Amino acid sequence: MKKIWLLFLAIPLLATMILNLNVKESPQRIDLFINFDVPFSGKIVQKREKGKIILFLQDVKILAPWEKKLSSSIAYQVAIKPAAKGTSIIIYTTASPKLYAAKSKDGFSLKISLLKSLAKSAQTSRSIDWITWLKWIGIALGTIIVLLILAKLLSKLSGPRKSKRIIVPHDESDFRIVFEKPLDEKNKIALISFKGIDYLVLIGSTNVLLGKYEEGALQSYEDFEKAIDNQDLAKAVEPKPQEEIFTTIEEYKRKASGNL
């Protein structure tokens, strides 16, 4: 009996003894408070297994096993058992909580905290990030499309004005353009054949009859260019009396009824 009493007296001299245990629960966390008889200076070793977390407190003793049922969604039971060269704390979990351990400044207390995992919240956050990115991409694409439409409209409005064109009915098989040569963006010269007569015509900002020839008189493009060289084009582009300006095939017909 005396030997057993001496053994219990020797325990505080060899290891830190757990004096008090307390557990506090909340929806988001569980806190386990441990008080020692002397400052705790040992190591804490963590090991995770399926459905539980095991903490080993080195050089810490507990006189008898201790356990507590929990009503938290993080863990449902905490058990503390004596082990070789220390004490084991076994936390039976329903998820994979985050675990933190903090010792008081004087070393007499240890706080072990279990926090609810934020994996689901992180996943939700990532989903929200993706939705935000998709919204921004949609806005960017919409802006690009609007800018392209505006650019196209502006180019049409600011583009060169179309020059006057001779209106040629599709059923006029005896009307054909033999040769044509552009002078600038607004004017060109054409040799038009109609009912056996070739007309040398300036077409553009003002449409002017430059000359009339028998059909086939200008047989090649070189003959066509020579006929152009013989014209006073600077004078031709000046406004002419109304009777010399024509824009439709009907006026060509009227001119064609005249003499060469």
pLDDT digits (tens, 9 = 90+) for 231-248: 777 766 665 554 444 455
Task: For residues 36 and 105, state if they share a domain.
Answer: yes
Question: Are 112 and 15 in the same domain?
Answer: yes
Higher pLDDT among residues 152 and 162, named by residue? 152
DSSP state of 107: S
Task: Tell me: do 20 and 112 sit in the same domain.
Answer: yes
Q: Is residue 107 domain-shared with residue 190, that is, in the same domain?
A: no
Q: Kindly state whether residue 133 falls inside one of the protein's structural domains.
A: no
Q: Is the pLDDT of residue 29 over 50?
A: yes
Residue 210 lies in a domain: yes
Residues 108 and 196 in one domain: no
The total domain count for the chain is 2
CA distance 67 to 71: 14
Residue 102 has which token pair?
């903090």
Where is the domain boundary, 117, 135, 157? Answer: 117
pTM of the model: 0.43
In a domain, 185, yes or no: yes
Q: Which domain holds residue 223?
A: 175-256
Q: What is the pLDDT of residue 92?
A: 94
pLDDT at position 56 over 90: yes
Q: Is residue 67 part of a domain?
A: yes
190 and 105, same structural domain? Answer: no
* Alpha-carbon distances of 121 from 75, 118, 128, 237, rounded to whole Å: 19, 5, 10, 79
The percentage of residues in the chain with a pLDDT greater than 70, rounded to a whole number, is: 73
62 class by beta-carbon count within 10 Å (0-12 exposed, 13-18 middle, 19+ buried)? buried
Whether 59 is in a domain gets the answer yes
Q: Is residue 130 part of a domain?
A: no
Min mean pLDDT across 12-16, 20-24, 177-181, 188-192 is at 12-16
| Average pLDDT value for the chain | 78
Which element (helix H / strand E) includes 8? helix 2-14
Write the CATH number for 56: 2.60.40.3470
What was the pLDDT predicted at 179? 87
pLDDT of residue 200: 82
pLDDT tens for 74-127 read: 999 999 999 999 999 999 998 888 999 999 999 899 999 999 876 555 555 666
Q: In the listed set 70, 96, 117, which residue is the last one of a domain according to the structure?
A: 117
Same domain, 15 and 109: yes
Structure-model confidence comparison of residues 101 and 219, the more confident one: 101
User: Which CA distances in Å does 38 have to 19, 41, 83, 107, 136?
Assistant: 10, 9, 19, 8, 60
Residue 12 has a pLDDT of 46
Q: Phi/psi at 182 (nearest 5 deg)? A: -75, 140
**pLDDT score for 227:** 84
- The residues, ordered by sequence, that sit 6+ positions from 202 with a Cβ below 8 Å of its Cβ are 187, 188, 189, 208, 209, 210, 233, 236, 237
Does the pLDDT of residue 252 top 60, yes or no? Answer: no
Neighbours of 97 (CB within 10 A): 21
Bigger pLDDT: 151 or 204?
Answer: 151
pLDDT at 130: 75
Contacts of 47 (CB under 8 A, 6+ apart): 53, 54, 55, 56
Contact 59, 15 (CB under 8 A): yes
CA distance 164 to 182: 14
pLDDT over 70 at 169, yes or no: no
| Count of residues making up the chain | 260
What is the maximum span of the chain, computed from C-alpha positions, in angstroms?
154
Q: Kindly state whether residues 105 and 182 are assigned to the same domain.
A: no
Which letter does DSSP use for residue 219 in this model? Answer: -
Decide which of 82, 100, 117 is a domain's last residue. Answer: 117
**111, 101 in Cβ contact below 8 A?**
yes
Which pLDDT score, from 0 to 100, does residue 53 have? Answer: 93
Classify residue 20: in a domain, yes or no.
Answer: yes
CB 237 within 8 A of CB 210: no
For the stretch 10-19, pLDDT in tens is 444 557 899 9
Mean pLDDT score, 67-76: 91
> Which residue, 231, 237, 177, is CA-closest to 205?
237
Residue 152 lies in a domain: no
Bin 204: left if φ > 0, else alpha if -120 < ψ < 50, else beta: left
